[in-house]
Structures are given as C-alpha cells and as structure tokens.
Amino acid sequence: MLETARTLRDAPAIPVNGAVLIADISGAAFEPETATLLVADLHLEKGSAFAAKGQLLPPYDTRETLRRLIEAVTRLGARRVVALGDSFHDLGADGRIHDTDAAALATLVGSVEDWLWIEGNHDPDPPARFGGRTAPEARLGPLTLRHEPRNGAAPGEVAGHLHPCARLSVRGRGFRRRCFASDGSRLVLPAFGAFTGGLNVCDPAWRSVFDVRPTAWMLGDAGVFPIAGRRLRSD
C-alpha cells in the first residue's frame, strides 16, 4: 500500500474530460477512484508472428510484456484491468503462446476483480481461455474506452492503436520516447508491448485526432514528464 501511495503521489495526473488518470511509468494509465488500470496494445506473440514469416526476432516479447504488466498491476493495487485492444498480435497468437506464458496470463487475469478485453483490429475476437470479458468499448465515468480513436472531436475518449511517441531536443541531444498524448479532452495511451513501435505525435496522421499538437507525457527512465506540444520535434 505504501508503494501504491508513493506512485500515485509522484506520478503526473492527466486531466481528461473531467476525469483524472495517473500516467504510470510503465505506460499504463490508472484511475484511482475505481483502481482501474488501462493498458493498450500489448501485441502478445508479435515475435512469433514475425518468425512464422521468416523474420526472426527474439521469442521473449510476450514474457517481457507480461512481466511488466504483472509488476504494474501489483504495484498499483489494481482491482480492475481494461486492455484497450490489440492485446494479441493476431488471431493465431493463442496457438503460439508458450504454456508458461499462457499460465502466467491466466493467473494475472484471475488475480483481479474484473478484466475487460476491448476488441482491437488485430484481435477482434480475443481468446476466451485466459478469462475476462470482451466488449467493443466501455464506459468509465465520463470516459469512453475503445481501441481506435475516432476522427474528429471525441470528448472523454481514451484509446490506443496509434502507439504515440514523442521526440524532444535538449541541449543538442535528441530523445525519442513512448508517450501519453492528450489535449485535455481525449487521451491516447502508448503501446505497452515489448516489440511495439511508435508514431511521432508530430506526424500528420495525428491531425484527425487532435486539432492542435497535444501535450506528450514522455516515459523516461526515472518518471513520466509532460512536454508541451510546441517543444516537440518531428523525426
């Protein structure tokens, strides 16, 4: 409990449509009133999917992603988890996952009071054997939780899919990190998976989501740091 209190005290809060979400260093967002952990784009078994196509990657992405997720759930004392889509890299991930990782995932899902899988474009039908519920989207107070951000205004939307990252230059040195992206009305979470890339929030693709360049809560080695949109740089 002391570690949870320390995390909530030290981590930055992101206001979204009247709600407040804690930006955790893991890349998950935490809603303290309901102890709900939001996590996007786990992409479990991405490595094995690439290996099946002849592009060999180290086969440990699922294990590392689960390790980080278990740590966040435990440290924050989450009672509910909502995975915002693309939790599995494809519909064949269930058949490729190692037995040890499958058992760890099922144990994690069973360790909380409620687990909700939001349907993603990579996993429109998440496998049932790990437990939890499935839905296309969900409500959390004034927030709407879904996988893919809608074009145009969507107050209260919390989504994933776009894998936001940000680039910052400090004293001639460039930093590119995963980030939370928000304009105060809606929020896009960083991809949580170990093998996931990122789309720079300065990319034109973001113009359908944010009217102005959003604030980026960049994930650093020692914390999460809010950076105003005007300070961000393109790749």
Average pLDDT score over residue span 160-164? 98
Looking at per-residue pLDDT, the higher value among 145 and 175 belongs to 145
**What pLDDT was estimated at residue 211?**
94
* Beta-sheet pairing, 29-31 with 114-118: unpaired
Give percent of the chain above pLDDT 70: 94
**What pLDDT was estimated at residue 9?**
66
pLDDT tens profile 28-51: 999 999 999 999 999 999 988 876
Q: With cut-offs at 50, 70 and 90, classify the pLDDT of residue 1.
A: low
Residue 2 pLDDT exceeds 70: no
Question: Can you say how many angstroms the Cα of residue 100 is from the centroid of all Cα atoms in its chain?
Answer: 23
Partner residues linked to 115 by β-bridges: 81
**What pLDDT was estimated at residue 55?**
67
Return contacts of 46-52, CB within 8 angstroms, 24+ apart: 46/89, 46/193, 46/195, 46/196, 47/195, 48/93, 48/96, 48/97, 49/89, 49/90, 49/92, 49/93, 49/96, 52/96
**What pLDDT was estimated at residue 170?**
81
Indicate the average pLDDT of the chain.
93
**What pLDDT was estimated at residue 60?**
85
Residue 89 pLDDT exceeds 60: yes
Average pLDDT score over residue span 170-195? 93
Domain map (residue ranges) of the chain? 2-231
**What pLDDT was estimated at residue 48?**
82
Q: With cut-offs at 50, 70 and 90, classify the pLDDT of residue 59.
A: confident
pLDDT tens profile 192-208: 999 898 999 999 999 99
Please name the amino acid found at residue 119. E
> How deeply is 225 buried, as exposed, middle or buried, from its count of CB atoms within 10 A (0-12, 13-18, 19+)?
middle
**What pLDDT was estimated at residue 69?**
98
The verdict on domain 2-231 having CATH code 3.60.21 is yes
**What pLDDT was estimated at residue 114?**
98
**What pLDDT was estimated at residue 196?**
93
Q: What's the CA gap between 223 and 134, in Å, rounded? A: 32
Cβ atoms of 78 and 32 within 8 Å: the answer is no
Residue 6 pLDDT exceeds 60: no
Residue 172 pLDDT exceeds 90: no
Q: What is the pTM of this model?
A: 0.94
- Beta carbons within 10 angstroms of residue 124's beta carbon: 13
Give percent of the chain above pLDDT 90: 85
